[in-house]
A = this chain, B = another copy of it.
Amino acid sequence: MTIPGKIGFIGLGIMGAPMAGHLHAAGYELHVYTRSRSKGDQLIGSGAVWHGNPASVAATCDVVITMVSTPQDVQQVWHGGLMDSARPDALLIDMTTSSPSLAQRLHDEGRAKGLRVLDAPVSGGQGGAKAATLAIMVGGDVVDYEAALPLLEKMGRKIVHCGRAGSGQRVKLTNQVLIASNVLGLAEGLAFARKGALDMKTVLSVIAESTGASTMLKAYGQKMVDGDWAAGFFVDHFIKDMTIALEEADHLGLDLTSLRNSLHRFRELQRRFGGTDGIQSIARLVG
């Protein structure tokens, strides 16, 4: 398959807007829909074509990418016009972090309709979306992955085919399961150190070279010490990811006690302080 000129992009939030922008800047004809039209203003102003609903985007484009919020949103878009209106042999790519089971289902439904479906969630946050340095984890058929690659390379840097449909979501959620424990453990360790009246600069530098080191420590250790709660990764989004992972774990018959404890703590954080701070703000609950 050659990459077509017409790309549809549904969902222009803090991630979707810059991602769609990179495709547009690369010269693709861009067709967009998003719930609040104002979020598309900038892209439309620079030449993207606005559509009133997902069905209209799908009827126009050979590739459609969705980047919405929750698995419920994915279902609403995909079952609310996207799949029914898609052109024969269209390539549909969901880049939302969503349910692996749903991704498998959509892939199979798509195949029955003669469509090609990939799940391709990302990692790297708003910064990675803007800089086009996202990691992209792709599930689905290899031939479709290869067809999508030139597009995905406009949005990310490390793009990996993880396996059959749903595997992109599974690898992404695996990562979220790890950070669920790592970020809470970090908050607990730093609270332990602070209450023990330690010099926090010394603590951070020693831990950074010890067995407790992690990417969470690198990203958030100093911010926790400084009380800097500005969001790179929103509490609300992380709770969504952990909820999906825990549901999927139940489905697989796994009892993930550390994930469950972290989700419980983050929900408490959300109740007390809202969900628009960064995930490092879990330190506010500890100590």
Contacts and interface: CB of A to CB of B under 8 A. Distances in A.
Interface in A241-272: 245, 248-249, 252-259, 261-262, 264-265
Contacts of A235: none
Interface in A107-152: 123, 135, 137
A254 B287 contact: yes
A257 B267 CA distance: 14
B195 A254 contact: yes
A209 interface: yes
Interface residues of A, number: 68
Contacts of A265: 257-258
Contacts of A256: 188, 191-192, 286
Nearest to A186: B178
B199 A163 contact: yes
B135 A206 contact: yes
Contacts of A70: none
A203 B199 CA distance: 37
Given A184-B181, A214-B215, A174 B190 contact: yes
A10 interface: no
Contact of A184 (B175, B212, B258): B258
Nearest to A164: B197
A27 interface: no
A180 B252 CA distance: 24
